[in-house]
């Protein structure tokens, strides 16, 4: 079974490799992208609730041609593009003495670097289970984050009283260029 982080990375690679999408394809389509996200969130919630017979019904508010409606029936797969590939369990394995808040703080710190630079690597990462090795994550760049997320709300599964990668995405998306928004 793949982790959420692996699914997010695989979805990003699939969009670029198989579908040929680039950040330039999405420019000027912010309203359409928000509607598409709303449609995928809606179908994922219906799927979680057991209404799987509705996933192939193209929502009325779907912004593109029907042929582009491609829910998989897997709510996790359908919601991965803006997820955080750096997991609590992986960071917790690095710092076993930290509580959940401490681990979440480090996850969000590392995510800020990843989202700002588009890449983050560690040469000697301790994976859940104790195995060590190199790890590298890639993420959409600042231009894409700003183009797709500026002025929008985001939702995440993080507890409201904990640090969250969605807060970092919103901060970066809504920052003015040159506002000191680098790590």
Stronger pLDDT, 90 or 104, i.e. the higher one: 104
Which residues, 6+ apart, have CB-to-CB distance to 124 below 8 Å?
132, 133, 134
Confidence of residue 183 (pLDDT cuts 50, 70, 90): very low
Residue 130 has pLDDT above 80, yes or no: no
- Is the confidence at residue 58, as pLDDT, over 90? no
For residue 142, count other CB atoms closer than 10 A to its CB. Answer: 18
* Residue pLDDT, tens place only, 33-54: 677 777 777 777 766 566 655 6
Which percentage of the chain shows pLDDT scores above 90?
17
Q: What is the pTM of this model?
A: 0.57
Residue-wise pLDDT tens digits, 144-170 = 889 878 887 777 777 788 899 989 999
Question: Across the chain, what does the average pLDDT equal?
Answer: 77
**Which of 111, 114, 169, 168 has the alpha carbon at shortest distance from 138?**
114
pLDDT over 50 at 1, yes or no = no
């Amino acid at each position: 079974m793949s982790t959420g982080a692996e699914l997010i990375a695989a979805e990003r690679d699939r969009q670029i490799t198989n579908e040929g999408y680039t950040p330039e394809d999405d420019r000027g389509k912010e309203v359409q992208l928000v509607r598409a996200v709303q449609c995928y969130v809606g179908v994922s919630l219906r799927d979680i609730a057991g209404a799987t017979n509705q996933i192939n019904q193209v929502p009325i508010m779907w912004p593109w041609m029907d042929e582009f409606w491609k829910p998989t029936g897997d709510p996790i797969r359908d919601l991965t593009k803006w997820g955080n590939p750096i997991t609590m369990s992986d960071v917790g394995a690095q710092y076993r003495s930290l509580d959940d808040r401490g681990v979440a703080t480090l996850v969000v710190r590392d995510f800020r670097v990843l989202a700002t630079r588009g890449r983050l690597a560690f040469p000697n990462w301790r994976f859940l289970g104790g195995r060590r090795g190199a790890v590298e994550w890639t993420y959409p760049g600042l231009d894409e984050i700003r183009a797709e997320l500026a002025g929008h709300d985001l939702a995440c599964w993080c507890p409201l009283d904990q640090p969250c990668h969605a807060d970092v995405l919103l901060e970066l998306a809504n920052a003015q260029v040159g506002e000191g928004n680098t790590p």
